[in-house]
Amino acid sequence: MEEINVKDFRSKKPTKRDYQSIFWKDRYNNRADDTTKENLNKILGYNQDLWMFLNKQELDWNSIKVEKINSKFENEKPGYIGKFSGDLIVNYKGSVKIGGKIYFNTWTIFIDTTRFW
């Protein structure tokens, strides 16, 4: 099945409306729990073209997946200059099936480990 990066998805016409809030308000506000909403928001991000496309397509709710793909300390980078302990970097990859194709996105969460040790 074809996988498409969310960051590469663009529609033919520029999108000026906030289709993300329209999607949750008008269609699916009570159909998804908070974790599912949060995961879908992270996967699709702020790509209003994709949110507009999603408003017209059928979403497979069971296909929403989020997995941890990599974790490391920021100070493991060569030449790192910063805090003594560094921040913990956790990378995630999320995917969802929309209209027969899989759309995916990756994002990073920084966890401050100051005074943790």
CA torsion angle for 44, 20, 34, 87 (degrees, to 10)? 50
Whether residue 117 is contained in a domain is answered as: no
Whether residue 41 is contained in a domain is answered as: yes
- pTM to 2 decimal places: 0.79
Q: pLDDT for 61-117, tens place per residue?
A: 899 999 999 777 665 666 655 555 557 788 999 999 998 899 999 998 887 766 655
Number of domains in the chain: 1
Whether residue 76 is contained in a domain is answered as: yes
Whether residue 11 is contained in a domain is answered as: yes
Q: How many helices (H) and strands (E) does the chain have?
A: 3, 4
Quote the radius of gyration of the chain (alpha carbons, Å): 17
